[in-house]
């Protein structure tokens, strides 16, 4: 690998790339708002409405598969075009995908919206293939999970503010989460987002980023599967993303179900901020827990991060409530949520900054919360399903970092395959939708339960599969 760039340059690069994590968090959560809107505007079944996620995350699979096949036959594309150019290309394609929402709204054809989502998802896929490994190599390998957790915290911030800002953009300040305005409501916000992506592409094209490249001849062939922990990690990404997206996709309709809470859509939608906000809280605590900060200072900083993030989430949700209903949320009503935040802090302590152990512990808690959601109703069911978000928090960064650990020259090829397994976000919501249409919303959560049971296995056992095997070359494979 080329010599490490100056630390100050690394810090700038980290901040710049982390901004992209925020952008794709925002655009991904917009899908959760599109699902109930399209379901009402186009009179769709839940299965048909969940095609929104199938189109978006299905693009992850197709683009990542194409990337993998090219890397196997011609050599790693990122190594040829560079991380920066990979990010620029992804931003341009994402911008085009957003702009395609305008002709889709003009024609009022649901399949055209799905086509626009495929293009948008393709661009986000390229950004992720380049951004995730790039963040992990902008410093020591042992603190890679910490950096990725911090970047993912900004990704979660995008999810937190989307239910409010996205709702206003799509439906108007007084009609958030209702189906008024029809599909024409998507024109202005998605054209604006398209312009933002294209502007970012121009900015990234001209700024200077640190260079990482693989020394020697670029190898072809499929060699990454020789790492057993990587194979288990691919399945872990599939089940993690699939489970997380499934819960986020059905949350509004789940709370609307008479057997759960019987809430109206405009009332239940504010809880999206708490669900996705939980991932932000956990990722910020995870970034501190896995960092090289002195041990005695970690827990106070983690507590401050949790308090600050919870305050941001509550402020966002209560502002939306006042905007749409003319009153604020009583802080007492979120005491169960605060209790789950405290519980997540305790599990961070139990995890002792061990990425694999934390994945296993957090997955076991998610299993328990899913079971409560399936078997209870009312407030217990409400806060159980929302609490799952807190225990999703460290999954992506820890699974990704554990899976590419020790891959050496296979790192970029492995990254493309891990991103390809985000297809779980396309497949699992469809399975859930079919189960919900035929057996009800409670039974449909069974697919999520299976996902978290596997993640518990990966955290405790699968991530350690290669510990006794010789470690692959530690040299990082990257672009220039």
**Orientation angle between helical segments 110-136 and 411-420, nearest 10 degrees:** 150
Low-confidence ranges of the chain (pLDDT < 70): 1-9, 141-145, 163-164, 166-182, 211-223, 266, 269, 324, 409, 412, 465-480
What CATH number should be reported for the domain whose range is 7-464?
1.20.1250.20
Q: What is the pLDDT of residue 367?
A: 96
217 exposure class (CB count in 10 Å sphere: 0-12, 13-18, 19+): exposed
pLDDT tens-digit readout, 89-114: 999 999 999 999 999 999 999 999 99
pLDDT tens-digit readout, 387-412: 999 999 888 888 988 887 777 767 76
197, 191 Cβ separation under 8 angstroms: no
Q: Closest Cα partner for 145 from 357, 292, 293, 287?
A: 287
pLDDT tens-digit readout, 19-37: 888 888 888 878 877 887 7
Beta-strand ranges (E) seen in 86-220 are none
User: Helices marked H in 42-75 — which ranges?
Assistant: 46-49, 51-74
Name the DSSP class of 257: S
Structural domain boundaries of the chain? 7-464
152, 397 Cβ separation under 8 angstroms: yes
Tell me the C-alpha distance between 278 and 312, whole Å. Answer: 11
429, 317 Cβ separation under 8 angstroms: no
263, 325 Cβ separation under 8 angstroms: no
210, 10 Cβ separation under 8 angstroms: yes
The residue whose two tokens read 């090829």 is 413
Q: Closest Cα partner for 117 from 18, 203, 186?
A: 186
**Orientation angle between helical segments 395-404 and 110-136, nearest 10 degrees:** 60
4, 145 Cβ separation under 8 angstroms: no
Query: What pTM was estimated for this model as a whole?
Result: 0.76
Q: Closest Cα partner for 48 from 425, 441, 429, 423?
A: 429
Classify residue 353 as left (phi > 0), alpha (psi -120 to 50) or beta: left
Q: What is the pLDDT of residue 388?
A: 94
Q: Closest Cα partner for 170 from 159, 156, 182?
A: 182
Q: What is the pLDDT of residue 163?
A: 66
């Amino acid at each position: 690998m080329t010599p490490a760039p100056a630390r100050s340059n690394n810090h700038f690069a980290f901040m710049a790339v982390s901004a992209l994590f925020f952008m794709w968090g925002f655009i991904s959560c917009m899908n959760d708002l599109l699902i109930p809107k399209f379901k009402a505007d186009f009179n769709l079944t839940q299965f048909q409405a969940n095609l929104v996620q199938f189109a978006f995350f299905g693009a992850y699979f197709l683009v990542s598969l194409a990337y993998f096949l090219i890397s196997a036959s011609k050599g790693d594309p990122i190594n040829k075009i560079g991380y920066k150019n990979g990010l620029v290309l992804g931003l341009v394609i994402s911008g085009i995908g957003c702009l395609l929402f305008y002709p889709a709204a003009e024609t009022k054809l649901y399949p055209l919206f799905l086509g626009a989502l495929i293009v948008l998802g393709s661009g986000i896929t390229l950004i992720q293939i380049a951004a995730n490994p790039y963040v992990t190599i902008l410093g020591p390998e042992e603190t890679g999970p910490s950096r990725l957790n911090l970047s993912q915290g900004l990704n979660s911030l995008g999810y937190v503010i989307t239910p409010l800002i996205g709702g206003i953009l799509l439906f108007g300040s007084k009609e958030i989460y209702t189906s008024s305005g029809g599909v024409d409501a998507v024109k202005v916000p998605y054209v604006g987002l398209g312009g933002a992506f294209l502007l970012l592409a121009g900015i990234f094209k001209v700024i200077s980023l640190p260079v990482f490249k693989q020394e020697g001849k670029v190898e072809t062939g499929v060699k990454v599967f020789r790492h057993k922990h990587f194979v288990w990690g691919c399945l872990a990404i599939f089940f993690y993303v699939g489970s997380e997206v499934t819960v986020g996709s059905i949350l509004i309709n789940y709370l609307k179900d008479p057997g759960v809470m019987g809430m109206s859509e405009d009332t239940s939608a504010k809880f999206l901020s708490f669900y996705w906000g939980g991932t932000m809280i956990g990722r910020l605590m995870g970034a501190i827990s896995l960092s090289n900060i002195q041990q005695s200072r970690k827990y106070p900083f983690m507590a401050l991060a949790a308090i600050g993030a919870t305050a941001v989430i509550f402020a966002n949700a209560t502002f939306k409530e006042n905007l749409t209903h003319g009153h604020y949320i009583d802080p007492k009503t979120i005491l169960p949520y605060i209790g789950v935040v405290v519980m997540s802090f305790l599990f961070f302590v139990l995890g002792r900054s061990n990425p694999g152990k934390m994945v296993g512990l957090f997955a076991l808690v998610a299993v328990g919360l899913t079971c409560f959601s399936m078997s209870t109703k009312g407030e217990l069911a409400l806060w159980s399903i929302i609490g799952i978000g807190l225990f999703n928090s460290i999954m992506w960064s820890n699974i990704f970092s554990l899976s590419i650990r020790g891959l050496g020259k296979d790192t970029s090829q492995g990254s493309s395959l891990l991103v390809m397994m985000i297809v779980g976000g396309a497949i699992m919501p469809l399975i859930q939708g079919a189960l919900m249409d035929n057996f009800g919303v409670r039974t449909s959560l069974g697919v999520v339960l299976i996902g978290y049971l596997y993640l518990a296995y990966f955290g405790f056992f699968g991530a350690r599969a290669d510990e006794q095997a010789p470690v692959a070359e530690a040299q990082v494979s990257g672009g220039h």
